[in-house]
Amino acid sequence: MNAHARCALVLALLALAGPAAADSPPASPYAGFERRPIKALSDDQLADLRDGRGMMLSLPAELNGYPGPRHMLDMADALHLSAEQRAAVAALVPAMTAEAKAVGARIIEGEAALNRLFAHRGADEVEVRQAANEVAARWGELRFVHLKYHLRAAALLSPDQIARYDALRGYAGGDGATMHQHKH
């Protein structure tokens, strides 16, 4: 089929599809979300909050040479962690998880409260501002929990170990070790 014939076929198909497409409203990217118990949180997000997972909240640390304690434990052999380093990192993980779970539970409560304001058609600007600010502060607290454990974990490593971590994680440049050479 030559180019002119293909073009004519495409135009004909578009002409046929045009009226049908105009009759139905476009699907929202939120279609199906209305069935969620807490509209703002997916099942995966709820599980992450309940389990104390990072949810990419610590990317500013992770991608700037401050390794995550869980990942450090996973790569302990490749990082050549000493017994003391392993023990120190191993102690960070359950502490971080417990703190993150506690804050995650408060986030879920806050998001549920915000959701209820709208679900019960009782939302007003004062209550919404207060609920939104409270849940935003909880998200900030959760982010801090994860970031502070990256700080604590990085303090346990040498600049060479941080550079190795960055390389093993596939981070280009490995500038994290350079940053830490001035801090240790």
pLDDT of residue 182: 38
| DSSP sequence for the chain | --HHHHHHHHHHHHHHHHHHHHHSPPPPTTTTGGGSSSTT--HHHHHHHHHT--TTTTHHHHTTT---HHHHHHTHHHHT--HHHHHHHHHHHHHHHHHHHHHHHHHHHHHHHHHHHHHTT---HHHHHHHHHHHHHHHHHHHHHHHHHHHHHHTTS-HHHHHHHHHHTT-SS-HHHHHHHTT-
Work out how many domains the chain is built from and give that number. 1
Phi, psi of 30 (to 5 degrees): -95, 0
Residue 29 inside a domain? The answer is no
Q: Tell me the per-residue pLDDT of 16-57, one tens digit each, with 9 for 90 and over.
A: 555 555 566 778 999 999 999 999 999 999 999 999 999 999
Q: Tell me the per-residue pLDDT of 72-125, one tens digit each, with 9 for 90 and over.
A: 999 999 999 999 999 999 999 999 999 999 999 999 999 999 999 999 998 899
Residue 24 inside a domain? The answer is no
Residue 168 inside a domain? The answer is yes
Residue 80 inside a domain? The answer is yes
Phi, psi of 93 (to 5 degrees): -60, -55
Domain that includes residue 55, residue range: 40-181
* Residue 86 backbone class (left: φ over 0; alpha: ψ -120 to 50; beta: rest): alpha
Question: Which long-range CB contacts under 8 A does 26-32 form with residues at least 24 apart?
Answer: none
Q: Structure pTM?
A: 0.79
Residue 143 inside a domain? The answer is yes
Residue 177 inside a domain? The answer is yes
Residue 158 inside a domain? The answer is yes
Assess whether pLDDT exceeds 90 at residue 1. Answer: no
Residue 111 inside a domain? The answer is yes
Q: Which residues contact 84 (CB under 8 A, 6 or more apart)?
A: none
Q: Taking a C-beta distance cutoff of 8 angstroms, is the pair 57, 146 a contact? A: yes
